């Protein structure tokens, strides 16, 4: 029961923080340069979440060929840049990651 209260409280706080901005969005006129800057927010946040997990999974910098996460990331970046297809990028990145991990498994 405590978990339900906790999840409900988090939902209320999240809604209360975000709703006023969404409600006023039709009334606010933002500069075009600011709107262009907002396009960079999702990739920046995703990078901030993914890169530490890939390069420092155990709080130590790990950049070598035995890092399957790094190899999968590099493959995903290459396919994403080449094909510009999100689903293909995710599938290839996961296949390379799992394949590399399987090859290096003792």
Instruction: Supply the pLDDT for residue 25.
Output: 76
Within the chain, residue ranges assigned H as helices are: 2-24, 32-38, 41-55, 68-83, 86-104
Closest of 85, 56, 90 to residue 73, by C-alpha: 90
- Are the C-beta atoms of 71 and 97 separated by less than 8 Å? yes
Q: Two tokens at 88?
A: 């293909």
pTM, rounded to two decimals: 0.70
- Are the C-beta atoms of 29 and 44 separated by less than 8 Å? no
Q: How confident is the model at residue 1 (pLDDT cuts 50, 70, 90)?
A: confident
- pLDDT per residue as tens digits for the range 10-44: 999 999 998 988 888 778 888 899 989 999 999 99
Report the pLDDT averaged over residues 42-67.
93
- pLDDT per residue as tens digits for the range 67-92: 999 999 999 999 999 999 999 999 99
Instruction: Supply the pLDDT for residue 55.
Output: 94
Residue 106 has pLDDT above 80, yes or no: no
59: left (phi over 0), alpha (psi -120 to 50) or beta: left
Q: Two tokens at 93?
A: 């990145």
The residue ranges of every structural domain in the chain are 2-104
């Amino acid at each position: 029961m405590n978990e339900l209260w906790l999840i409900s409280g988090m939902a209320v706080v999240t809604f209360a923080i975000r709703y006023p901005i969404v409600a006023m969005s039709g009334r606010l006129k933002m500069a075009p340069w600011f709107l262009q800057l907002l396009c960079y927010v999702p990739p920046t946040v995703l990078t901030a979440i993914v890169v530490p997990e890939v390069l420092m999974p155990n709080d130590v910098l790990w950049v070598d060929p035995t890092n399957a996460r790094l190899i999968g990331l590099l493959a995903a970046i290459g396919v994403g840049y080449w094909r510009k297809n999100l689903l293909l990028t995710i599938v290839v990145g996961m296949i390379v990651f799992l394949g590399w991990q399987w090859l290096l498994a003792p």
